Chains A and B, each alone.
Chain A
């Protein structure tokens, strides 16, 4: 594949991803020791997204390495608005799978913002989104080439973009 790093570079990139994954695991452990934050829910107004601009990328994150991350589809993952006892273990499983063999670029869809700093620290992109937000998903399809949305817990199908 054109532009692919040599084996030594690949090994170094994989090592960096492993270090980042270890840091993320520590971060999740620390978070699990704290009670969930329940903010007052104040929905933000919808932003009408035009479709004439080229889409913006979604990063792979720091915890994974892939020779051609742009070839991976953008998958929206709906994070529960208030953290439950299932949330962090489910995130841990998702991140473990993503670290071991990245299968998508993850766009983490949050209804409330407790987890935003954690996602940002580890190189994940996040956007506002809830289970009823088909219009938001359409907008994110234009903005980030979002292809599909599933729930974090149970990976239940929620939405898929039309077309190729």
Chain B
């Protein structure tokens, strides 16, 4: 309800969304100029409601804030109790687009969607977003306040202001171990900008924000609680407050977030009074570790659209997103083809032929895992034995390696995909982007060195699937002798520049995601 009030152009100044919130705020720094009086709410007794109004009447006196009620009937009923005139709250502008056909039920502070069986908390979404999707109904026996809310939501004051200029989106990048979240969001924004007049900005918790800047997008750099040594609860309040203020000031049409969940601070920001109409799109990669993130599925109730980038190894996915789960809130879940940032035409760019052959690219990802150093030594020793030169990809997030090797060249580049075809083979971790780029954008030999940690996706399952399909080999630093033998066999393939079988690249998953977002924002389909 606070969201509807602050989104109401007829009300200026600080506003309390109920008599209770007004009383709780007495003595605060900011004087309230308007109070919305409510009738009996779910779980509230008639006696408690009447007592609250009596206290309010004594506190208000004859001056003080302007009083409002949601309907004429409520205004008439409440004014006698507080002894002051009460105005009817002016209606909101008409929702964007045609009036929605759907009818949803508001019951016991939950919203039920009869057509799908979905339900979600009544404060999960900004209520102006709800108005764009459905008409709310309540049972005749529902508490009076619920009936007032439904009546108010059904009324409108006329058409909204017309849409002009580019559509503005904000991509929220979490602080991942690697670059997966950032890369998928860049891919989505890249393809979306080809479909609509788009103005994208990034809200970035990753230290790799410079990569977004390089791609030409403005970036808000947002240190994490851990980076600041801050209390996570206080940090979350700052994020919610700052992001809510940003959304209120800049008329954002959609927030795009890549992660397992919609974080609580992000959901709170979207509900901020005045944050308006921003839709929530969650890009949720699959292949979670079995048993991980089980509580994250429910947070999709804060989104309108959940996009699941396709997985070549989906048959081996045993994570929580794979199971049957009830639809959550408004979210429509769409699975696309695999998503890679680099477009096919960029793969023909010249300039990535290393001078000394055979040469293998090594891309082990973030160096935050215990087996990294051991694996690094194994690879360098085997390459030396086979006479294969190595190009060692240095993550933009990582410090330079603390070793020197005459057979190794270092390379820092992003995205990696345009460089892959210039090499005779690649040894890579099996994170989402590395895996799909290596298999979909090259035909050189690939050796996966999966990193398995609870905080990561199920890289071992991905690598095992590729090995079983004959697309790639895999290695584990856990058994050095076996790893050494596997490396030697793989480097023979590199030396002979053997072509490897590959899955069909098929559709562009990033463009499929963009098409869904376009449909959400404009109602349009394919161009």
Which residues does A use to contact B, with CB under 8 Å? 23, 26-27, 30, 37, 39-40, 42-45, 47-50, 52-54, 56-59, 110, 112-114, 116-117, 120-121, 123, 125-128, 143
Contact = CB atoms under 8 A, between A and B. Distances in A.
Given A47-B245, A53-B237, A56-B234, A27 B213 contact: no
Interface in B193-212: 201, 207-210
B218 A43 contact: yes
Interface in B385-419: 396-400, 402
Contacts of B219: 42, 44, 113
B245 A113 contact: no
B352 interface: no
B223 A26 contact: no
Given A39-B214, A127-B221, A48 B227 contact: no
Interface string B215-229: 011111101000111
Given A47-B242, A50-B242, 6 more contacts: A39-B214, A42-B213, A44-B220, A50-B241, A53-B238, A116-B210
A57 B229 contact: yes
Contacts of B230: 56-57
B250 interface: yes
B523 to A, nearest CB: 27
- What's the dominant secondary structure at chain B's contact region? mixed
A44 to B, nearest CB: 4
B251 to A, nearest CB: 11
A30 to B, nearest CB: 4
Contacts of A40: 213-214, 216
Contacts of B241: 49-50, 53
B210 A50 contact: no
Contact of A57 (B213, B228, B237): B228
A48 B201 CA distance: 16
Interface residues of B, number: 35
5 contacts: A45-B201, A56-B238, A117-B397, A121-B397, A127-B221
Contact of A112 (B201, B213, B223, B238): B213
- What's the dominant secondary structure at chain A's contact region? loop
Contacts of A127: 221, 223
A121 to B, nearest CB: 6
Given A47-B220, A50-B241, A56 B235 contact: yes
Contacts of A117: 207-208, 210, 396-397
B249 interface: yes
A152 B151 CA distance: 60
Nearest to B241: A50
For the complex of A and B, list the 10 residue pairs with the smallest distance between their C-beta atoms, beginning with the closest.
A113-B210, A120-B207, A42-B218, A30-B400, A44-B218, A48-B245, A39-B213, A117-B207, A59-B229, A56-B230
Nearest to B212: A113
A59 B213 contact: no
Contacts of A121: 207, 397-399
B242 A49 contact: yes
A130 B92 CA distance: 40
Contacts of B345: none
Nearest to A39: B213
B295 interface: no
A15 B145 CA distance: 64
Nearest to B168: A45
B481 interface: no
B29 interface: yes
A26 B404 CA distance: 13
Contact of A126 (B221, B235, B246): B221
A54 B234 contact: yes
A47 B397 CA distance: 26
Given A26-B400, A27-B399, A49-B242, A120 B218 contact: no
Contacts of A59: 227-229
Nearest to B216: A40
A75 B101 CA distance: 57
A37 B210 contact: yes
Given A26-B400, A27-B399, A114-B210, A42 B217 contact: yes
Nearest to A143: B238
- Most chain A CB neighbours (cut-off 10 Å) among B249, B250, B400, B402: B400
A113 B221 contact: yes
Contacts of B217: 42
